Structure 1
């Protein structure tokens, strides 16, 4: 049987070579451009078949590889000729529709003579290339035959439910690593460091999958409840970029700073005191210095913080300091590997036992490598032919000895089984660097633009692209990013490739695809067809691309410096064959008219630029299918002839409507348009009417925004959106007195809609289609700024609704039975009530037995009149902001509540009685910015036996902290910050610190204690020398014993606390005691007097000055502070004293200001320097003689400095010093007093 298959394969190749010879002869003899083009298309089909046949061969020599390369180049050239011909024919048809068409044809370079000459030259080049190939036909006729022939897949074949994240057989290893992560927290030898654990093993063994299992384990998530992060590193190890990514993960916000010191400081601040786990996936770096830079920024977390690393290299593990905590991942057992293979080969279908006997032998050859088993299982699931399974079993690849080479060969076998278009689509992804996350939809558009996928049968190109993607993903050629819990509809699917898959794609198309990361040292070859390049500072396109013309079909320059811009005038002449051009974020302000010469262009991405207008010549691109203008906030208008671009499939200018107020008329002529994310409705002359949308068959997301000047709508009774397959619809009215309801009636969407947002709607009633729920499949609904609406539709009847947001609906006073409907929100998981200022009652239902059975998250903000809410049986998270205290009385019924966040409650001096006592499932409690709160119920808080995280922040009047918190054995994280009225006794503080792992206590706002009414400050901070002069005046010697007696006389005065609130001590005093052994600090605490310390070390000569002196004591201050605090000091005093014999010099003024700035940085009662707004001289209104320097932050916090002689120059010097400190002194990052 195998011999017959080989013979048949040989005959097929002979037939193909014969066909090539015949077509070659025809091309040389037939006349007429049209007939020759038909033969070229026939030739293209034959060439593709020959290429496919050669690629099926398991092993080919260099001569065959060289011939294969020539065949591929010829295939590209054929596509260029055919596309050029078709494009010119299309342009001629379009011009013939205008009255000047024939005149323009006569005078243009595209007249028939020139056109035929140009096409003739291209065909001649084709035949010469074909002749060269046919001279080597003997190579084709004597190829080593392969018996493996994959059955042709159907256009949309059946797939099985195989999870892309399947891990079998790793449970023991997972438990071992979980134990390593969650123990040894009390090891004092690790204090001040962060422990690194490494998973090491060859590619394809599943290191990342094992790390994901560990990361998602409940024990790990609970242990590191404060923060868990995941960062894919890859081959490029840039400490600054990695730190920025980690900072973004920790804060959940983008980071726009690039200076490594600022990034490091911000990261240290964010991680400080938090026990975190960080996964660094796929690390290759073996530079110990680079790792040291990164690790230094990660050592500031709480004790027990861990880093989990995955790497192929034992050397990497050693460098990162994990030699004693390395887990060497091993091959799967035969049974586990067989289970994995079976799951991918058969999915949910019945297992064919005959095939599984062959499969068992294949699995043995996989050597326990999961990726090999998954890849082969995925490949074999599409056929049940025993011969094919046997041919895989007997393949030559199993003779390879090197394990990683064998895995790559297995992946190549899977690749060989792919249909031709899937091979091209897979290889295209190698254009991007390893570990690069691609948006699935954009990838499919690029496939279509390059002709890899097209419309076939009943499926359009995008649908076929999705079929191809799903097949590749099922075969593990692509890996999907996990979706986030809160993204019910708007999830952007992203994918990447396993490193070995990326290596495979590069190996089969290495000369065709070129990207900066992999090919830095290579020149861009003339036959490079797809290029991604990173433009660095001072880069020029001429330098990058060279002077020769290129065959580029995809060009994706990436700008890495804001000062770099792309000179399009020097780029376009080199790119005449271009199909896809991505100029995202390229600092582009103007697009040259020469863009109209890129006649092959299908995909143009100009998003995130600074473009104001587009040239009209862009409408001359006859093949353009995808035009992305999103995030161009300077865009003022679109080309007036937009309607001529009849091949457009996707027109996107979303987030570019800041200045854009209308769309030119004629959009209804774009009959191929399937995606229009934003439409701006206007009723001005020569602008696009909303009626033009009626016949367009749109898909996906759409926002319809009514311009401010929209006044009249008189159509009525239309079904503008009914025939559209929209999944998301945003309707934004302009909040003016008009007939909103009539318009909204006509905008009834299709039942396919999943997400609906209505914004600035002014009518008191919603449309019939929403009231009667004619869109039953809604998953998300947002009704915002509907000020005049008198009632909410019965949204509770929406069976699939998972998220609902109601905002600024001032006409709503109650929500009850009508709102809940007869279903009571059966699927709702998240509910947001925001700025419902008049909502008073949210009642139970007398129709539904159980309301909100699946609701997990509830967010109530700015609902000051709301006093009640119904029972919520499965609520997990509740956040209440800017509401009345009475709403908190309802939470006692929420026994399932796990997270409670309370912020800025109106007039709340205490929590309602028993409101938290019954919350026995609570794991996280936050109370912030409750300014009037005076006390917390300790007796109730001790009932929170599962509480793991407690945050009390910015509660100005909170006078005490319940000691019962210290007895909560479950508590892991405590943050007590900016509560200036709290007084904690040392024993209370010790009890709390001993009971929690992670803590951030900042009861450092001691203004009120220092400035208590009726009390004064006692300065007992005289230096030993000054104290000696006092003693000398009464005839006593300056000894420590006499200084101690003098200070005891002051500090043990009876009733001192009635008049003194604060005592400033000298360093020696801090360590002294009374004659009966009681420390002076304890004497002060006993009298409720706050002890502080003077931290300067006295005056020393200032080098380079005019015999002037200045204060010393800043060096080592941070470490001294820690000791002072341990001894009982609770604040510090720094003075900027200078000795000026004959008036202050500029130098001493600047140095004094610098001293203040440096002290501010060390103190870190902090305003980051970039947040300072001003530093000005100022005078006290009550005491004009008192002059200050006032420093104001951007958020209007004020700090005051005094004691300067030249106030204006000192203010300027202070500002300059802060600026210099920011730029030249890494440790100087803040200003304080």
Structure 2
């Protein structure tokens, strides 16, 4: 919602202004404009709370907020250029030889400063107009009270469903009952679970599919998410792939040609084993009928009773708490709150998570008596509890949640990847010296504690994969409105709405190529692509880099761990001065990277994982002074890291590092050079050389490293490298059979 996006944006703008004012002399007249801008920002921030309350009933206020958000984005982009110029000028002044790079000369030039001055003046004019309009809407200045951050807690992974034992037995009887063989010509039985969102249909189906009796009864089980769009071909392929994984490659005779109707798709299942069954979950009764479920095979999932909702809410709300004297009073209030769940287990879980961080009668009454229950919301039964939990989040955490709706339903998020995305957008803060990765972990834990994430996969006690419930995804879409968009490429030209969309997911079928032009994409901040074979051509990328200069994140590696980039990244990539994150992983044809990539001063994450034919990194990579993550695991053609990697003192994560153990020269990165990287926390490293220069190895100074994985490529013994590096006590350490098979906890 506007308050989350705007509050974060305006806070970032103020931070940029404060920092830049301290470090560089402004042009005459600009300082006065900046001070005026600061005053306007302070005033606007105090009006956000009142505007947000009135937005739901006053469309003009909603339009006013949209204009303010648009101006805030433009403001931050302009000031980001200014901040970048300031930092480059300072870095140039600190150059020991007095040699200021050409890029620094540009940013310190009069023409650049004049352009910044003009932009700030124009932004001030727009903000002035917006501020003056507040009287028309009778907006009042209110102090924004940041909600108390909840105590983080371990996630809830319910292995059994409250109140669903009877319906589970009913489904099991359908699945495993009847004849052991299906009569020839008769369709495979389809059992459908029908009910509104938030009732637990998917959780129930998963529980059934994981039942030991089901696993014993059926040779294999394939799980497919159809989500909002029904594509017979995609569903069929997903089922085949699932069965191939389980059955060692059996394709069940299905062709790869498009299947145009559900009936034709369903017929193919008759080629499977006898007594096969299909279990469907849907919100729509018509879908169940269309898929062939008879009335007796349609299970209408009912709402839970108040007592069952209270049981779910209570178990979560009181988890980890001692028996309190006030628990009797809280239980009375809690039962009333449970009635607000209107029988939806998801609502009970969300409200229980919200109440877990509250232990007084007054705090529980605040939830019970909230005005949010009176709002006219879409899907009110479930959105009202979610909105209560959402408003309990700190503003930056709200935006982290909203960002997740960029990806489709049932998407499997990777913890490190999503937090890296948050970092690129500035949601975790803007201080380059801060431990922003720890901030990302804190924000993630807050969202977990509020039950916004689910279906966790755990390794070594840590979450590395998770999903967002489809109803929670709908809720995020409802709040984010036009902030995020998904476009399907059907021609060589793509149009989007530049005035609204800032984050874009582009889906390209393998029959098409990535568009050579995206109309209205000039202000995009995020571009994530789902592409077919060899669709990202140099011409398409060149056009993208020339027209989308405000991009902060480019991710070409979703969702199949295959990047269909052709063999070239054009030089124009160097024009993306705002870019923080670029993911080129799995670009199997990529052999080199342009030196222009190293002109992206703000770049924080460079992901080159599994670019198996990449032969070398750019020689000028030492210019990427803000780089926090570099990943080259699986780059088998890469034989050395350049020496200038030691200049990247902002690095926190380095995966696939190649370090020499036998010497320290002026060409190749060595173990000793690790000592320059004082902020490094996780390292996955390939150590080359048949001997160890122990004196140089001692200079590695791994005191701040928390996770270390090593693959020994030469003849060095494991004991010798441990003795030479002397890793500190408490470090998570392990050797790898192959340097790209690193411990899961170190995975990017």
The Cα of 1:442 is off from its aligned counterpart by 0.7
- Contact 1:40–1:82 (CA under 8 A) maintained in structure 2: no
With over 3 angstroms needed to count, the CA separation of the structure-2 counterparts of 1:759 and 1:381, relative to structure 1, is closer
Residue 4 of structure 2: aligned partner? none
Residue 368 of structure 1: aligned partner? 343
- Contact 1:721–1:750 (CA under 8 A) maintained in structure 2: no
With over 3 angstroms needed to count, the CA separation of the structure-2 counterparts of 1:431 and 1:161, relative to structure 1, is closer
Q: Which of 685, 710, 721 lines up with 1:730 in the alignment?
A: 710
With over 3 angstroms needed to count, the CA separation of the structure-2 counterparts of 1:746 and 1:40, relative to structure 1, is farther
* 2: CA distance, partners of 1:690 / 1:111: 37
With over 3 angstroms needed to count, the CA separation of the structure-2 counterparts of 1:162 and 1:559, relative to structure 1, is closer
Tell me if 1:217 matches 2:189: no
Q: Which of 238, 244, 262 lines up with 2:231 in the alignment?
A: 238
Residue 1144 of structure 1: aligned partner? none
Residue 693 of structure 2: aligned partner? 713
Secondary structure of 2:615's partner? coil
**TM-score, scaled relative to structure 2:** 0.84
Residue-pair matches, total = 701
The Cα of 1:444 is off from its aligned counterpart by 0.6
With over 3 angstroms needed to count, the CA separation of the structure-2 counterparts of 1:615 and 1:142, relative to structure 1, is closer
Q: Which of 52, 64, 70 lines up with 1:73 in the alignment?
A: 70
- Contact 2:484–2:503 (CA under 8 A) maintained in structure 1: yes
Residue 650 of structure 1: aligned partner? 629
Alignment of 1:546-565 (within 5 A): 546=519, 550-563=522-535, 565=537
* 2: CA distance, partners of 1:717 / 1:145: 58
* 1: CA distance, partners of 2:275 / 2:512: 45
Residue 578 of structure 1: aligned partner? 551
Q: Which of 243, 250, 272 lines up with 1:301 in the alignment?
A: 272
Residue 687 of structure 1: aligned partner? 668
With over 3 angstroms needed to count, the CA separation of the structure-2 counterparts of 1:142 and 1:33, relative to structure 1, is closer
Residue 591 of structure 1: aligned partner? 569
* 2: CA distance, partners of 1:691 / 1:726: 18
Alignment of 1:358-437 (within 5 A): 358-384=333-359, 386-398=361-373, 404-437=379-412
**1:418-444 C-alpha deviation (Å, 9 max, x unpaired):** 211111111111111122222121111
The Cα of 1:205 is off from its aligned counterpart by 0.7
With over 3 angstroms needed to count, the CA separation of the structure-2 counterparts of 1:400 and 1:460, relative to structure 1, is closer
With over 3 angstroms needed to count, the CA separation of the structure-2 counterparts of 1:403 and 1:565, relative to structure 1, is closer
Tell me if 1:637 matches 2:636: no
Q: Which has the higher contact order (CA 8 A, sep 6+)?
A: 2
**1:775-824 C-alpha deviation (Å, 9 max, x unpaired):** xxxxx999xxxxxxxxxxxxxxxxxxxxxxxxxxxxxxxxxxxxxxxxxx
Q: Which of 698, 702, 707 lines up with 2:680 in the alignment?
A: 698
Secondary structure of 1:666's partner? helix
- Contact 2:49–2:142 (CA under 8 A) maintained in structure 1: no
Structure holding more helix per residue: 2
- Contact 2:512–2:532 (CA under 8 A) maintained in structure 1: no
Residue 661 of structure 1: aligned partner? 639
* 2: CA distance, partners of 1:244 / 1:205: 28
* 1: CA distance, partners of 2:508 / 2:252: 26
Alignment of 1:998-1009 (within 5 A): none
**TM-score, scaled relative to structure 1:** 0.52
* 2: CA distance, partners of 1:669 / 1:616: 16
With over 3 angstroms needed to count, the CA separation of the structure-2 counterparts of 1:346 and 1:33, relative to structure 1, is farther
Tell me if 1:182 matches 2:176: yes
Tell me if 1:83 matches 2:80: yes
Which segments of 5 or more consecutive residues in structure 2 lack a partner in the other structure? 1-6, 558-562, 744-748
Secondary structure of 2:668's partner? coil
Secondary structure of 2:225's partner? strand
Alignment of 1:816-895 (within 5 A): none
* 2: CA distance, partners of 1:360 / 1:456: 45
- Contact 2:600–2:624 (CA under 8 A) maintained in structure 1: yes
Residue 331 of structure 1: aligned partner? 303
**1:686-719 C-alpha deviation (Å, 9 max, x unpaired):** 1112211134343345132416xx6663536727
Secondary structure of 2:700's partner? coil
With over 3 angstroms needed to count, the CA separation of the structure-2 counterparts of 1:719 and 1:231, relative to structure 1, is farther
The Cα of 1:401 is off from its aligned counterpart by 9.2
Secondary structure of 1:550's partner? coil
* 2: CA distance, partners of 1:497 / 1:730: 34
Alignment of 1:18-97 (within 5 A): 33=30, 36-37=33-34, 40=37, 44=41, 47-55=44-52, 59-96=56-93, 97=95
The Cα of 1:554 is off from its aligned counterpart by 1.0
Q: Over alpha carbons, which structure has the higher Rg?
A: 1
Residue 569 of structure 1: aligned partner? 542
* 1: CA distance, partners of 2:42 / 2:733: 44
The Cα of 1:685 is off from its aligned counterpart by 5.0
Residue 120 of structure 1: aligned partner? 117
With over 3 angstroms needed to count, the CA separation of the structure-2 counterparts of 1:781 and 1:745, relative to structure 1, is farther
* 1: CA distance, partners of 2:450 / 2:505: 26
- Contact 1:90–1:622 (CA under 8 A) maintained in structure 2: no
Identify the range of structure 1 (632-641 vs 723-732) with the bigger mean alpha-carbon deviation: 723-732
* 1: CA distance, partners of 2:142 / 2:358: 21
Secondary structure of 1:471's partner? helix
The Cα of 1:731 is off from its aligned counterpart by 2.0
* 2: CA distance, partners of 1:41 / 1:254: 64
Q: Which of 654, 676, 698 lines up with 2:654 in the alignment?
A: 676
* 1: CA distance, partners of 2:65 / 2:649: 40
With over 3 angstroms needed to count, the CA separation of the structure-2 counterparts of 1:711 and 1:125, relative to structure 1, is same
* 2: CA distance, partners of 1:596 / 1:42: 35
Which segments of 5 or more consecutive residues in structure 1 lack a partner in the other structure? 1-12, 257-261, 269-286, 762-779, 783-1233
Secondary structure of 1:586's partner? coil
With over 3 angstroms needed to count, the CA separation of the structure-2 counterparts of 1:380 and 1:643, relative to structure 1, is same
With over 3 angstroms needed to count, the CA separation of the structure-2 counterparts of 1:781 and 1:60, relative to structure 1, is closer
Secondary structure of 2:116's partner? helix
The Cα of 1:753 is off from its aligned counterpart by 4.5
With over 3 angstroms needed to count, the CA separation of the structure-2 counterparts of 1:196 and 1:303, relative to structure 1, is same
* 1: CA distance, partners of 2:146 / 2:377: 30
Residue 596 of structure 2: aligned partner? 617
The Cα of 1:597 is off from its aligned counterpart by 2.0
Q: Which of 253, 258, 265 lines up with 2:253 in the alignment?
A: 265
Alignment of 1:818-1217 (within 5 A): none
**1:1013-1072 C-alpha deviation (Å, 9 max, x unpaired):** xxxxxxxxxxxxxxxxxxxxxxxxxxxxxxxxxxxxxxxxxxxxxxxxxxxxxxxxxxxx
Tell me if 1:343 matches 2:293: no
- Contact 2:350–2:450 (CA under 8 A) maintained in structure 1: yes
**1:285-307 C-alpha deviation (Å, 9 max, x unpaired):** xx996322322222233332222
The Cα of 1:662 is off from its aligned counterpart by 0.7
The Cα of 1:48 is off from its aligned counterpart by 4.6
* 2: CA distance, partners of 1:541 / 1:399: 46
Residue 222 of structure 2: aligned partner? 229
Secondary structure of 1:516's partner? strand
The Cα of 1:646 is off from its aligned counterpart by 1.8
Secondary structure of 1:375's partner? helix
The Cα of 1:192 is off from its aligned counterpart by 5.7
With over 3 angstroms needed to count, the CA separation of the structure-2 counterparts of 1:145 and 1:109, relative to structure 1, is closer
The Cα of 1:189 is off from its aligned counterpart by 4.6
Report the aligned-residue RMSD: 3.9
Residue 445 of structure 1: aligned partner? 420
* 2: CA distance, partners of 1:57 / 1:518: 38
With over 3 angstroms needed to count, the CA separation of the structure-2 counterparts of 1:423 and 1:758, relative to structure 1, is closer
* 2: CA distance, partners of 1:402 / 1:749: 56
- Contact 2:55–2:61 (CA under 8 A) maintained in structure 1: no
**1:298-347 C-alpha deviation (Å, 9 max, x unpaired):** 22333322221111111111111222211111111111101111223332
Secondary structure of 2:735's partner? strand
With over 3 angstroms needed to count, the CA separation of the structure-2 counterparts of 1:481 and 1:714, relative to structure 1, is closer
- Contact 1:730–1:757 (CA under 8 A) maintained in structure 2: yes
Secondary structure of 1:228's partner? coil
